[in-house]
Amino acid sequence: MEPRIQYAKTSDGVSIAFWTLGEGMPLVHMPIGVSHCQLEWEIPECRRWYQALAQRRQLVVFDFPGTGLSGRDVSALAVEDFRQDVEAVVDRLGLETFALFGPQHSAPIAAAYAACHPERVGHLILWSGYTSASEWTKRPVVQASRSLVDKDWVFYTETLAHVLFGWSAGEPARRYSELIRKSVTREYLQGAFAAMAGWDVASLLPQVTAPTLVLQRQDAEPGVEVAGSLAARIPDARLVILAGESIAPYLGDSESALAAIEEFLSEDDEPAPSTSPELPTGTAIILFADIADSTALTERMGDAAFREKARELDTAMRAVIRECAGTAVDGKLLGDGVLAVFTSARQAIEAAVRCGKAGSHGGLPLHLGIHAGDVIRERDNVFGGAVNITARIAAASAPGEVLVSETVRGLARTSAGVSFEDRGEHTLKGVGDPVRVWVVREGEAS
């Protein structure tokens, strides 16, 4: 199943698209350069690479601003700006420590981040990297390909894909050239080329304290000599040379690359700190939220604007749920409903009220319902009759209000700091007996 795209915000308000897969020690996989975290999943070799990395870890994949599904209106392209983008993603996920994988153009950014945040980067992996952008741009094949960018955009992207992947790559290179054209504009690349001229992290490399693995394929750009120079500048870095010509780690002998990474990361593996509670089996407090009249809102706002606001609301709601000690269930997307479980009725009500305010402020009022009952956990989801009842209670609510069942009111009436207004018994679709519901009113119960 395709991973769920989520969004983080940079300090200057730019959206960064990302997804996560798997469980365990977090591994933050930075883009090779141009990326599109949804379209990459459609490339079979790339998908298998990500799935293999996620077998024992929580894999995090994202697009830099200006590329892929991230915000496109960007002009700041210095190494420091990209470091802040990494910070936005890991902060959004609440990752305290993690392994950082910087392939190709992300390598100097990853190294700079590790030097400036030694307390957060537990392992650093650099693939086909360099210290100064001149080590890449001075390569004859790179200079020749860049001369095409102003003349023929399609031919340039096809040439670039073959430079990166190797001239024998064939179909994977063709797919990647299409991905480039869908991921960035010609103007963005021209701006990136100009900004990269100033990239040089040589002064930061001696400050890297994380165990570091430098990987380079024998016949791939920017060359073994550049990789050796990079490794020599980082204290105790380990250099491994692999066979092949492709910069893309998922092409060619990807098994050797995976084995080297796995061996390196497994040397002192520790379980990753949990960023959210485990999904329960048994009795839980269940919150369900859905955008009110989403069809009409989509028609009025347009598909793209509605989905952007819905993604922002989804991100805000999941943050609220975590802050209230709840667990948002993955796979439930806003528009199909956000489902969360709690161990406390008081915390579930607090989360629902705050989510309702976030929806109203964002112009997307919500239906919200809370019920308590037994759930069955299956992988990263929960099921059961109580979940269905919760969704029906939410559907019965007016936009922006929180409805709770009699069970939840009984659990929270003396502790939630709210009052409850009786809405009587409701006959809910698919539920045999009528269900008494109450609307939550902010302020102490009398």
Domain co-membership, 322 together with 395: yes
Provide the total of helices (H) and of strands (E) in the chain, helices listed first.
Answer: 15, 16
- The per-residue DSSP string of 29-55 comes to E--SSS--TTGGGGSHHHHHHHHHHTT
* Entry pTM: 0.59
Least confident of 194-198, 277-281, 382-386: 277-281
CATH number at residue 97: 3.40.50.1820
Domain of 244, in residue numbers? 6-266
CA distance 211 to 280: 37
Average the pLDDT over 111-131 and give the result: 95
Distance of CA 177 to the CA centre of its chain: 23
- Do 211 and 291 lie in a common domain? no
CATH of the domain at 435: 3.30.70.1230
> Average per-residue pLDDT in the chain?
85
Q: What are phi and psi of 334, to 5 degrees?
A: -60, 135
Kindly state the DSSP code that residue 427 receives in the 8-state scheme.
-
Q: Say which DSSP state 200 is in.
A: B
Answer with the one of 266, 296, 325 that is the final residue of a domain: 266
Question: Is 341 in contact with 351 (CB distance < 8 Å)?
Answer: no
Is the same domain home to 167 and 287? Answer: no
Distance CA 283, CA 281 (A): 7
Q: Is residue 275 part of a domain?
A: no
| pLDDT tens digits along 59-108 | 999 999 999 999 988 877 889 999 999 999 999 999 999 999 999 999 99
- 315 and 239 within one domain: no
Q: DSSP class of residue 384? A: S
- Clarify whether residues 286 and 358 are in a common domain: yes
In this structure, is residue 208 part of a structural domain? yes
In this predicted model, what pLDDT tens digit does every residue of 294-316 receive, in sequence order? 888 888 888 777 877 887 788 78
Question: Which residues in 126-141 are b (16+ Cβ under 10 Å) and which e?
Answer: bbbbbbbbebbbebee
Question: Is 277 contained in some domain?
Answer: no
Helix (H), strand (E) at residue 154: helix 153-165
Q: Are residues 201 and 156 in the same domain?
A: yes
Given a cut of 50, is residue 137 above it in pLDDT? yes
pLDDT digits (tens, 9 = 90+) for 257-285: 999 999 999 876 544 444 445 555 568 89
Q: How far is CA 300 from CA 54, 55, 92, 317, 335, in A?
A: 40, 43, 30, 23, 16
Could you tell me what percentage of the chain is helix, strand and coil, using 3-state DSSP and rounding each to the nearest 5? 40, 25, 35
| Model confidence pLDDT, tens digit, residues 414-438 | 766 788 999 998 887 767 788 899 9
Boundary-marking domain end, from 233, 266, 299: 266
User: How many domains, the chain?
Assistant: 2
Same domain, 322 and 259: no
CA dist 400 and 308 (Å) reads 20
Q: Among 223, 240, 266, where does a domain finish?
A: 266
Assess if residue 276 is contained within a domain.
Answer: no
The answer on 215 and 322 residing in a single domain is: no
In a domain, 274, yes or no: no
Do residue 77 and residue 223 come from a single domain?
A: yes
Domain check: are 301 and 384 in the same one? yes
pLDDT band per the 50, 70, 90 thresholds, residue 32:
confident
* Percent of the chain residues past pLDDT 70, beyond the cut: 87
Contact 337, 307 (CB under 8 A): no
Same domain for 170 and 97: yes
Domain identity same for 234 and 335? no
Q: What CA–CA distance (Å, rounded) separates 225 from 216?
A: 10
Report DSSP state, residue 22: S
